[in-house]
Chain A
Amino acid sequence: MADGNTITARGIPAAIAPPRAGTLQRLARRRSTLAFLMTLPLLAVIGGLVVYPFFYAIELSMLNKRMTRFVGLDNYVFLLGRETFQLVIFQSVLFAVSAVIAKALIGFVLAHVLHTLPARGQRKWRGMLLVPWVIPPAISTLAWWWLFDPSYSAFNWLLAGIGAAPVPWLGDPGWARFAVILVNTWYGAPFFMIMYLAALKSVPDQLYEAAAIDGASAWQKLRYVTLPMMRNIISITVLFSLIVTFANFDIVRVLTNGGPQDRTHLFGTYAFQVGIQSGDIPLGAAVSLFMFPLLAIFAIFILRGVSRRTKEGL
């Protein structure tokens, strides 16, 4: 009833200003100052190390290679005209979309399967299935790298066992792209699984019981109860994963370093190669900033989904 009123009262002092500014009002003002001081370090981090670098990136991306001259949008135009960069755009989209679809599907299936298990066994299986997400990707990709080794590949050893020819995992552009997507799926599917599992658990059992009594089949329960109840969390998870996958660095960097023939470069790894390794800071900044519009759109949709969740109180 009175929830939050002590707070809002201060927000509009003009509307309900009492005849005199008493001690309580002074206290309220002091509280507001205190609150500001408590958030100051947070503001410093966000302002100094996120917002400022962002604008600095825009400035950098408009300089020439030696950072002595303003060149406007030349870097962007140059990049767009370059075949390698066109490949990077295509590969980033391909990588993000296919990896996210694979992760979402696997995660959904696993969450469902886990949800059908009795509660006691669930914990153990869930514990094992989340392991890929727990190991730092830069570390676990080393294991994959070794599994894909041209001469010692343990996968090829298994293939040889069934009489198949060895696969050039990281040597052939097509296979390399597949490998990169595979590793990302391996790393990210558990995250989807855990998110969906949490969402599944939040669907009240009575809904399924009601649906069963109404004569719904298992498929209809999924279609008319589970999916609508999970729609919001599915979209939040997918959008979030699109951002993270699209901006991935670790896996490609360790596994292929963009090769062969730049066929697995993403925005992140390409920006690193151009900006840090080749020393063309402005061009690298421009490569990174190309990601921004897409990321911003995804972020806005996530924010919408999250605030809707908050409003619905789910």
Chain B
Amino acid sequence: MKEKLTSFLQNKWSQVILFTLFVVITSLSLYLSQKSVVAFLLLLASLLVLYYMKLKNLTKWIVSAGILFILLPMASSGGPAFQSYMEVATMVGIYVAMALGLNIVVGLAGLLDLGFVAFFAVGAYSYAIFATPQASNFMPFGQYPLGGESFWIFLIIGGICAAIAGVLIGIPVLRVKGDYLAIVTLGFGEIIRIVFNNLDRPINFTNGAMGISSVTPPSIFGFNLVFPHHFYFVTLLILAFTIFAVLRFEHSKLGRSWKAVRENEIAAQAMGIPLVKTKLLAFALGATFSGMMGVVFAAKQAFIDPTSFTLLESFTILVMVVLGGMGSVPGVILGAALVTILNLQVLTELTNWVNQLNLSGMITIPDALSPAKMQKLLFGLLLVIFALYRPIGLIPAKNKKFDESKLKSSNSLSIDRENSVAIDKDNV
């Protein structure tokens, strides 16, 4: 017994020591080297390692918060590539939050939504329009652009706008199920993009295909947020809120009602779960997180146009959810991080490398075959491979484990029943 206990402790502590060593080495090499994508990715991967360690949940949260808020920005601040690291990390954060939003709709409620990027667009435009002179085209009162402080209010407004869009799209769309739902949402996703593309006439709301440029940077206490590492922290905070909220939803009566609707609509309804309301709520809440990140995206890019919200974006987010594991919060976070990094780091690095080879004249690869243009092919392959060989995703969804001892009570019904059964038998 004692041996077992000590070996267990050893196990846990050896884990901690190895983990610390890993983090220290990766952060140091990231800090000292001029540009080391590998070290950067390994430091991010330490969070995945942390997930599988035998530690308390709270400890894991604190350690990962420490790595993301302090260690990662500090370690990557060494070289000239600091801003590009922060840019990638910010995009990872934005996509993770969106994927978590889509996970509510697809993973929990089982509604295949192929137009999810529409809500991201609604959030982005809601801030972009009011943080530029664009709004004075149609607003009878007020001074535009609004100041950078309004960004914080727009985080909420953007979320609410996206939620309203979710409900408005949901009301007609949720009459159909399965494949039909996928097609209809795909259509609506495109409709929203095309509407933004054409809403420059008769009144110029969105400036059409030209896009909206020089969006006012957010500011806090008079300090303007312009660099990617500023947005990194903003994204991280919103992401923290998103993860927190999504985890709460998942194991609440709401999450259960979504899963029930996913598993069997007729039975869910017979248990008193209103179908339309539950589905609309999934649409609206999923859209909210997407809309909030849309606001951050608009502020970060300082320029948005309809081409940022194409069908490919919707597919990308869906791939993240399917790859990670439908309905699984840690899975979706991993999936979103992997796909974003693949998109922004791996493919870009590969393209750079291929370009260098081209320049040096060693081989010639036509521009059309450059890795950055392989996105659709790769995502398609990933979807097919995962659908065939691992439909549950990288980290499959887990059900909540209930502690039996906490639920036991002294006056259980079964004892009563056994007694009454005994009496019945006596009577017979």
Do these two chains really belong together in a complex?
Answer: no
